Structure 1
Amino acid sequence: MQIPEKPSKEIALNFLKEGNIDKWNRWKSEHQEEELNLSDIDLTETNLSGVNLSGANLTGANLSDANLTGADSINADLTDADLTGADLTNANLIRADLRSTILSEDTTIDDKWRLVWDIVNHSIQGRDLINADLSDANLTGADSINADLSNADLSGATLWDADLSGADLTNADLTDANLEGIITDENTKIEIPEE
Structure 2
Amino acid sequence: MPDLQLVELLKQGNVERWNLWRYEHPEASPDLNETDLHGLSLVGANFNRANLSGADLSDSDLSDASMEYASLVGCNLKQATLSHARLHGADLSGCQLHAALMDSADLSATNLMDADLIDADLHGANFNSAKITGAFLAGANLRDTVISPEQMHETRPPDDIP
Residue of structure 2 in register with 1:91 after alignment: 90
What TM-score comes out, normalization by structure 2 length?
Answer: 0.61
How many Å separate the matches in 2 of 1:7 and 1:109? 26
Q: 2:106 aligns to what? A: 108
Superposition CA RMSD, Å: 3.9
Q: Which runs of 5+ in 2 are unaligned?
A: 23-27, 121-129, 140-149
Inter-partner Cα distance in structure 1 for 2:77 and 2:98:
7
Matched residue, 1:56:
55
Paired residue type of 1:62: D
CA distance in 2, matches of 1:118, 1:75: 10
| Alignment partner, residue 118 of structure 2 | 120
How many residues are aligned here? 131
Q: Is contact 1:95-1:136 (8 Å) kept?
A: no
State the shift of 1:70 in Å. 0.8
Q: Which runs of 5+ in 1 are unaligned?
A: 1-5, 123-131, 144-148, 165-178, 183-195
Higher relative contact order (CA closer than 8 Å, sequence separation 6+): 2
Question: What is the CA distance between 1:87 and its match in structure 2?
Answer: 0.6
Q: Superposition pairs for residues 20-99 of structure 1, below 5 Å?
A: 20=21, 22=28, 24-25=30-31, 28=32, 35-99=34-98
C-alpha distance in 1, partners of 2:80/2:94?
16
Rounded Cα–Cα distance in structure 1 between residues aligned with 2:102 and 2:35: 23
Distance 1:51 1:111, change over 3 A: closer
Distance 2:30 2:117 in 1: 32
